[in-house]
Structure 1
């Protein structure tokens, strides 16, 4: 890239297109890997020619036929040549010549340009002829004195030591008559003299030397026209000092570098020129910090924009509760890419500014990724919990529950850890230990929930067992209805609960993997289920229909059957009324016993205190049957018992009115002929045998009373039906229209005819 670019024009305007110049020349990526050289000297001393020869640049040179100003302002170019021992780019500033007739006595631009070159360059080439050594103006001593003085105030303004620079005096048209050592001694003497005559800005600088701030170096070049070959040879030797880092007289040193990356140099140089133009104190370190801050922020924004663009291209539902496959690696890749972009471009600037902005960029990226990662962890938790319950529902029934639960719990923990680790964006990015601890707490709650569900299943199963046992044993206890009834119920409950808890060590271990507290709660759950079964049974057994049926059963068992369970046939002389009263009172004993569950000691049957609750479904053991219902049952039962008593009395009366035995002898004597007639008729004999057999069974089985009752009921029914039909017939006759009465009237109108009719008959 040899083409020159004007950085500052002759009107002191700084170019705004310098950054594009670097980009077009592929220099913007050089970072800190560059060196900057500037040259100034008297006008028409061959500065541009020297630079073109040294660095193969294309600065404009003077037309030898018309001597005059060639370089106006400050121009920039880049060396086209590189050495194998140095890959750094070399940027050259060609400064407008001093002491030109075009500007005359206006030395303002000369001083500002020299100051600009000194402030920005690592090496300042002072181009001069041998004949100018020892001169004040020709050697630019006046200009250098002014620059040094301002430079001191600038360093003092920085309040710390600024980078040194190398001032390289290139003595042109060197003849060799005067040794270089003598020329250098003369120049150093002049420089030291002028340095000591400077107005020092602070007492600390009174005894300072020029070598404290500048490295002074010297080089010579033969006459270009008279000794072209030697000139070229000397230029080659001088070029090696710029290009070869291994050269013993290598001009660049790391202390000279301003540590401003080349992509930020346009801003850095622009601010320096602006402050020079405004005649302000020039604080070079501050300018470096400002450039670093601006560029680092700009680079951080570029990296952030690149990160967001890459994030959109992933096209995944980040930040939602959706489980994303291959979550971590892609995000880690774009995170690393963004940080690499920033590091590559911003690490060249001031380390503190670079680190500060990197921290902010990393905070923005990691803040967003952390929210995404937490959402992913939440999705992982949901997924693992779903797997936990699914695995538990498919467990092997032959394996004890607590072993299956422990295995599923360990699998869930391992699955979460593996999934969270796989989703990790970077090993140093974010630790999921807090979320994992939270998941373990949630999983522990789910394990407890699973135990409770299994405990509820066991309690339900055992409750059904208790209910079956109560259904088989409780009715007999309640029907017996004596003063020990509820003590028997209490004993039955204790026995049944103890029996169903035998496989579970009496309730001390339900084999669910829980602790003593869990087992105690489980035992309580089983006991609640057992008492709930009792409540359900008692609700059925205290219904009005069931109680009425039991009252009837108790009455009939006592009234209609004897002690051996044989039906009673009431005969003359039996005390039906006493039997009725005993049976009735025996049946009615059921009501007070079942109306209130009172134990023999007078207390009411109650659940254990640790099982009591405010559940509205629980029954009231103190009043199982309310008084109104009990009174209604007594009235219904009395009507039923009275009916049975009346039927028994009627049976006794019917058995008492039998035919005397002697009448059977009279019937036999008087009916002998009819009896013989029946015996001679086969049909009558068969009919007689059937009637006799039926009568035998009725008598032998003591069914006379029931048969007579049935016959009596049939006769009554037939009688009632006959009366009903007769009544309906009479009512129908009363309501009929009687046309005969009209006919009778007509007959009365013709009495003769009425009288003659019988006669004619």
Structure 2
């Protein structure tokens, strides 16, 4: 009967723990009670044919009941050892798939922050479910503690609060949970959550990058500098510049000469005296400035040649 009870409990308990919701442990208690009652009833019928004293009969029935509890506890400890994998699987499922279980396509309209929070909350619920064995209907505040400490925004604390009140997970035991019923301590939960976030952060980053790339691909407008060039030159002239690098080189030289003229003529300072006086002053300095720039260019070009001629004469 112990083998039958083990078979009746093991797989259903594993499935219930994997689903991890508020109704998980009530469902496990109900399952344990039903299957244990059926096994005890079968054992009572079997031993009724033997002439056993009442104490021995009670001991056999109690041993079978305890076996049922030990099966559930053993399965819970096995699942608690794999909690990090379960949390990451749940996060990946909820984050990467929509409500219809279809793969998400990051088009740019999705609220990644809200999706991430929902997926993390579900993973936290799984951690809360597996933190302790709840075969007795004793209440605890594990879910609330984990939610406040891990998911919700941290509230500012005052200086006179203790370390425990500032960090509810700075403890090795849960409130109102015996040590023998504890599967994952508060400190372990904190460490697991930190590791969980670190190992799922890449998934979130990839989603953000995919969303940004999709937005850029959907933006058919050219960059601002190209729009400005097309506004000044026209589309055909702009495309001609792109196809012929020689024109770009000429424009670059014109830009350098224009910048040198701007500095030499001090145009900004001239226009402070008024528009008409500035035009008169610039008209008188324009030609001399051009000649001065050309002379400098000629001198700089002739300077390297002079030492070479001197070395040749020597």
1:595 maps to which of 114, 131, 137 = 131
Q: Aligned partners of 1:506 and 1:627: how far apart in 2?
A: 46
Gaps of 5+ in 2: 142-177, 223-314
Instruction: Report what 2:55 is aligned to.
Output: 517
Q: 1:648 aligns with which of 198, 201, 207?
A: 207
What is the TM-score when the length of structure 1 is the normalising length? 0.23
Q: Does the 8 Å CA contact 2:73/2:133 hold for their aligned counterparts?
A: no
- In the alignment, structure 1 residue 529 sits paired with structure 2 residue 88: no
8 Å contact kept, 1:471–1:537:
yes
2:29 corresponds to 1:493:
no
* Structure 1 residue 626, shift from structure 2 partner: 1.8
Match of 1:638 in 2: 197
| Partner residue, 1:542 | 80
Provide the residue aligned with 1:572 in structure 2: 108
Equivalent in 559, 563, 581 of residue 95 of structure 2? 559
Deviations 1:571-615 (A, max 9, x none): 1121111100111111112222221234665179xxxxxxxxxxx
The change in CA–CA distance for 1:470 and 1:553 in structure 2 (over 3 A counts) is farther
**Structure 1, residues 700-751: CA drift from partner, whole Å, max 9, x if none?**
xxxxxxxxxxxxxxxxxxxxxxxxxxxxxxxxxxxxxxxxxxxxxxxxxxxx
What CA distance in whole angstroms lies between the structure 2 residues aligned with 1:595 and 1:534?
Answer: 14
2: distance between equivalents of 1:503 and 1:529?
15
Partner of 1:629: 188
Q: Residue 530 of structure 1: CA displacement?
A: 1.9
Alpha carbons of 1:587 and 1:660: their partners in 2 closer, same or farther (altered >3 Å)?
closer
- Deviation string 1:216-252 (CA, Å, 9 cap, x unpaired) is xxxxxxxxxxxxxxxxxxxxxxxxxxxxxxxxxxxxx
Does the residue aligned with 1:571 lie in a helix, a strand or coil?
A: coil
Inter-CA distance 653–633: structure 2 relative to 1 (3 Å threshold)? same
Deviations 1:455-475 (A, max 9, x none): xxxxxxx33333223321112
**How many angstroms apart in 2 are the aligned matches of 1:510 and 1:523?**
12
- Matched with 1:694 is none
Alignment of 1:15-94 (within 5 A): none
Does the 8 A contact of 2:80 with 2:184 survive in 1? yes
Indicate the larger mover: 487-496 or 462-471.
462-471
Higher relative contact order, structure no. (Cα contacts within 8 Å, ≥ 6 residues apart): 2
Cα displacement (A) at 1:661: 7.0
Whether contact under 8 Å (2:95, 2:115) holds in the other structure is: yes
Matching of residues 637-716 of structure 1 within 5 Å: 637-658=196-217
Distance 1:499 1:590, change over 3 A: same
User: 5+ residue gaps in structure 1?
Assistant: 1-461, 605-618, 664-761
Q: How far apart are the structure 1 equivalents of 2:6 and 2:196?
A: 30
Distance 1:656 1:506, change over 3 A: farther
The structure with the larger Rg is 1
Report if aligned partners of 2:76, 2:133 keep a CA contact under 8 Å in 1: no
Instruction: Give the aligned partner of residue 11 of structure 2.
Output: 472
Q: Is 1:484–1:600's contact at 8 Å kept on the other side of the alignment?
A: no
Equivalent position of 1:232 in the other structure: none
Post-superposition offset of 1:506? 6.5
Q: Is the 8 A contact 1:498 1:506 kept in 2?
A: no
Contact 2:88–2:123 (Cα < 8 Å) also in 1:
yes
Q: How does 1:311-330 map to 2 (within 5 A)?
A: none
Query: What are the superposed Cα offsets for residues 353-386 of structure 1, whole Å, 9 maximum, x if unpaired?
Result: xxxxxxxxxxxxxxxxxxxxxxxxxxxxxxxxxx
Q: How many residues are paired up?
A: 187
What TM-score does the superposition give when structure 2 sets the normalisation length?
A: 0.53
Q: Displaced runs of 4+ in structure 1, greater than 6 A?
A: 659-663
Question: Following superposition of structure 1 onto structure 2, how do residues 422-501 of structure 1 map, counting pairs within 5 Å?
Answer: 462-501=1-40
Contact kept? 2:13, 2:72, Cα under 8 Å: no
User: Is the Cα contact below 8 Å between 1:584 and 1:641 reproduced in 2?
Assistant: no
Rounded to whole Å, the distance in 2 between the matches of 1:646 and 1:537 is: 35
Offset at residue 621 of structure 1 (A): 4.9
Q: Contact 1:572–1:656 (CA<8 Å) still a contact in 2?
A: yes
**Root mean square deviation, CA, Å:** 3.0
Matches of 2:185 and 2:138, distance apart in 1: 22
Contact 1:542/1:625 (<8 A) preserved: yes
The 1:534/1:510 distance shift into structure 2, 3 A limit, reads: farther
The Cα shift of 1:622 comes to 3.5
Distance 1:535 1:575 in 2: 40
Give per-residue Cα distances to partners, 1:374-426, cap 9 Å, x unaligned: xxxxxxxxxxxxxxxxxxxxxxxxxxxxxxxxxxxxxxxxxxxxxxxxxxxxx
**Cα 1:659/1:482, change in 2 over 3 Å:** closer
Structure with the larger strand share:
1
Partner SS, residue 570 of structure 1: coil
Supply the distance in 2 between the matched residues of 1:588 and 1:659 (Cα, whole angstroms).
36
